[in-house]
């Protein structure tokens, strides 16, 4: 989704803000949200090489940066011990001898004109609140409004916390319920 498509969420609240400044704030908010929550992800399949190696150069999807390794598993779904070495290297503790699927955490590049559709449609309100926080916090401009900026920052942070909680629940296979027990 083009960042321009999110402008109707921001510009009605601060009509005197230039479009380019608003797009920059939307991009920064999307980057910050993705970095904090790890909700922007992409999968890559790595094929073993001959001779087997443990380090692989991986490329980020267009207009994104790699920031972390979320998961690595072999072709049967069994987890593999792996690590991420920025900017674009995935390493395995043991040399790779079978195909592996790695899930990488990404965020938009500093100059990205768009963000993935699924990410933008799910978190558009959070991105809007992050952008409004940034814009309303700017000093010496017509649209400065510190009190509203604080409100939008709280809404942005609430969305970050919600997304982080969802990521934890998604990665945990155990029940999240607690069984009450009496103390003796």
pLDDT digits (tens, 9 = 90+) for 5-22: 999 999 999 999 999 999
Same domain for 156 and 129? yes
Please tell me the predicted confidence (pLDDT) of residue 133.
Answer: 98
**Does the pLDDT of residue 184 top 80, yes or no?**
no
Q: How many helices (H) and strands (E) does the chain have?
A: 4, 6
Please tell me the predicted confidence (pLDDT) of residue 171.
Answer: 57
Same domain for 100 and 82? yes
Same domain for 92 and 150? no
Same domain for 101 and 142? no
Same domain for 19 and 78? no
Buried b (16+ CB within 10 A) or exposed e, 48-61: eeeeeeeebebebe
Same domain for 31 and 119? yes
In which domain, by residue range, is 84 found? 41-108
- 124-153 pLDDT per residue, tens: 999 999 999 999 999 999 999 999 999 999
Same domain for 99 and 122? no
Same domain for 30 and 59? no
Buried b (16+ CB within 10 A) or exposed e, 67-105: bebbebeeeeeeebebebeeeeebbbeeebeeebebebb
> How many C-beta neighbours within 10 Å does residue 173 have?
5
Distance CA 84, CA 17 (A): 39
**13 in a domain, yes or no?**
yes
Same domain for 126 and 83? no
Burial class (CB in 10 A: 0-12, 13-18, 19+), 177: exposed
Please tell me the predicted confidence (pLDDT) of residue 182.
Answer: 78
Rounded alpha-carbon distances, angstroms, from residue 141 to 138, 151, 177: 7, 19, 49
- Pick the more confident residue, 87 or 182: 87
- Of 71, 89, 108, which residue sits at a domain end? 108
Same domain for 53 and 95? yes
**178 in a domain, yes or no?**
no
**Does the pLDDT of residue 175 top 70, yes or no?**
no
Same domain for 31 and 45? no
**100 in a domain, yes or no?**
yes
**33 in a domain, yes or no?**
yes
- Of 82, 108, 134, which residue sits at a domain end? 108
* Share above pLDDT 70 across residues of the chain, in percent, rounded to a whole number: 94
**31 in a domain, yes or no?**
yes
Q: What is the mean pLDDT of residues 15-40?
A: 96
* pTM over 0.95, yes/no: no
Same domain for 81 and 122? no
């Amino acid at each position: 989704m083009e960042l321009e498509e999110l402008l109707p969420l921001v510009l009605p609240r601060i009509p005197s803000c230039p479009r380019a400044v608003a797009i920059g704030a939307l991009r920064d908010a999307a980057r910050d949200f993705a970095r904090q929550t790890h909700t922007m992800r992409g999968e890559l399949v790595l094929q073993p090489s001959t001779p087997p190696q443990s380090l692989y150069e991986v490329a980020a999807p267009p207009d994104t940066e790699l920031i972390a390794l979320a998961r690595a598993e072999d072709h049967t779904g069994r987890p593999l011990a792996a690590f991420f070495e920025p900017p674009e290297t995935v390493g395995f503790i043991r040399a790779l001898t079978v195909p592996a699927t790695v899930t990488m955490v990404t965020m938009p590049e500093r100059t990205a004109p768009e963000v993935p559709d699924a990410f933008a449609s799910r978190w558009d309100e959070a991105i809007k609140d992050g952008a409004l926080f940034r814009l309303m916090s700017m000093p010496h401009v017509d649209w400065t409004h510190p009190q509203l900026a604080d409100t939008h920052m709280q809404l942005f942070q609430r969305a970050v916390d919600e997304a982080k909680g969802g990521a934890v629940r998604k990665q945990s296979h155990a029940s999240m319920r607690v069984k009450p027990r009496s103390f003796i």
